[in-house]
Structure 1
């Protein structure tokens, strides 16, 4: 791929590598398995990091989150790294492809990664976006497909024993989910299935946050169960909280960055209070307590 240059290969202190902002949290099972493998046969490949010029040259992880976590738990201070000079989009695409190639992803994470890969790839290679009208018909392209996902659609369909149409639906599902919805679905006690994701992709926008919340709380085992319940007599009315949330979300998503900053400044005290409540409920360590690295 273009837009990247390998600068060096060397051992780096793991505390010097920023690992926040990843698309997917690490798997406890995968880390445990990797620790056993490293103890038996050693680390088989370097992790990949990048120098971020516009952030004072800090090192940020591209690929190898499970390997860093394994080294951290084994009390190893340094880890072999390939250091890259690359664009933000190249780094994101590399992170996605590393997960797609080396991780047995569940349907939810696969949908998220596929949707993000499509968006990043089309930014990097705008010429691969699907054309329309007569040109589309002449090329005999599927109107829902394009080169940004076509090659991976085929290989992923074979791996999952699913049709290419199903993989395209995964992309659609990933595109329909915002970060809050993804977080809720990942916390669901019952595994989110392909059928759930397809229902989320097709349902009305007002139904989506309700489905995600019900699944995350274990109040429903499937998206279909939630939708069927909402269709029953007396349950058709939209929850006013859901309606207000959707309006806030859409307004914030559409607003320019300067307007978002002003909003956060105006409501900073209340927002900090909400964030503190969420951290406490999750049993997580507040960011300030961990310090910057």
Structure 2
């Protein structure tokens, strides 16, 4: 894939009519607060960096690739034109540039970072269809598993090189994005939970219906975290597990909140196996004779 630097090399700046730039279909919508902050900065220092655009796929006007905040800030200031760079690229290349520009931002929340990385993985696989064809032999039990692992390994290395994030961070983020439901995400975006990795992992561990219940409690202000949201949603009694025999579950719940989705799935396999073993032992245990019975 061509990088933004390669696409813009030798490309002259020009003044684009703001009204002709289509800024829709962005992965990260510009909030009113961010737009106002950008407008204030542009009012004082002017436009430091140009926006990146391409000819609109429809053939009419321009399509924004990078610079959503700058376009929003310019609109607030009443500017009719904005400095821009015009590049030629495919839809997938344009999406990858948008993703990488946002991943470079330090203020990106764990939630947004997870979904940007998941989108980057999707586009990477479209742009690099050969990435899944590794040399390793296919496994006997699950067709395509090796190819999938090879694809993800190559993606994580490329993403780590492009974003500066560790491969482990990238892998965990993609797992998180895959476990969260779109409806729950739309509800918690902008809340404190979106900035808390542990809370997000705990939310991802719930089934889709419970994710929606918990997210709604948080979004509508009835709870500030998952533990409180589970109470206000009626999923657990106030105070949590209060019975003596349930006290170990309180400690287990805190531990589960720190696990990744893949670790949680592994824990479920272990627990299921333990239950099966205990049930089998219970069935084979000899019955004690009743007191007072015949010798």
Post-superposition offset of 1:194: 0.7
Match of 1:82 among 66, 77, 85: 85
The separation in 1 between residues aligned to 2:155 and 2:48, in whole angstroms, is 30
TM-score using structure 1 length: 0.64
Post-superposition offset of 1:153: 4.3
The separation in 2 between residues aligned to 1:64 and 1:157, in whole angstroms, is 21
Deviations 1:36-94 (A, max 9, x none): 433343322110111133x1333111110111111111111100111122211111111
Deviations 1:178-213 (A, max 9, x none): 443322112546654111221233322332222222
Q: Which moved more, 1:95-104 or 1:116-125?
A: 95-104
Match of 1:50 among 54, 59, 77: 54
Partner of 2:128: 125
Alignment of 1:144-163 (within 5 A): 145-153=152-160
Partner of 1:21: 25
Is 1:12 paired with 2:16? yes
The separation in 2 between residues aligned to 1:207 and 1:129, in whole angstroms, is 35
Q: Secondary structure at the match of 2:207?
A: coil
Is 1:169 paired with 2:172? yes
CA contact (8 A) 1:93 1:120 kept: yes
Partner of 2:43: 39
Task: Flag the 1:26–1:180 CA change in 2: closer, same or farther, 3 A.
Answer: same
Q: Which runs of 5+ in 2 are unaligned?
A: 140-145, 239-295
The separation in 2 between residues aligned to 1:203 and 1:144, in whole angstroms, is 28
Task: Flag the 1:184–1:42 CA change in 2: closer, same or farther, 3 A.
Answer: same
Partner of 1:286: none
The separation in 1 between residues aligned to 2:15 and 2:36, in whole angstroms, is 22
Alignment of 1:1-293 (within 5 A): 1-2=1-2, 9-53=13-57, 55-129=58-132, 134=137, 145-153=152-160, 164-188=167-191, 191-226=194-229, 230-231=235-236
CA contact (8 A) 1:199 1:224 kept: no
Post-superposition offset of 1:129: 3.8
Could you say what the CA RMSD is over the residues aligned between the two structures, in angstroms? 3.6
Q: Which runs of 5+ in 1 are unaligned?
A: 234-293
Post-superposition offset of 1:103: 4.9
CA contact (8 A) 2:43 2:77 kept: no
The separation in 1 between residues aligned to 2:43 and 2:27, in whole angstroms, is 28
Partner of 1:252: none
Q: Secondary structure at the match of 1:79?
A: strand
Q: Which moved more, 1:182-191 or 1:73-82?
A: 182-191
| Runs of 4+ more than 6 Å apart | 141-144, 154-157
TM-score using structure 2 length: 0.64
Q: Which has the larger radius of gyration?
A: 2
Q: How many residues align?
A: 226
Q: Secondary structure at the match of 2:95?
A: helix
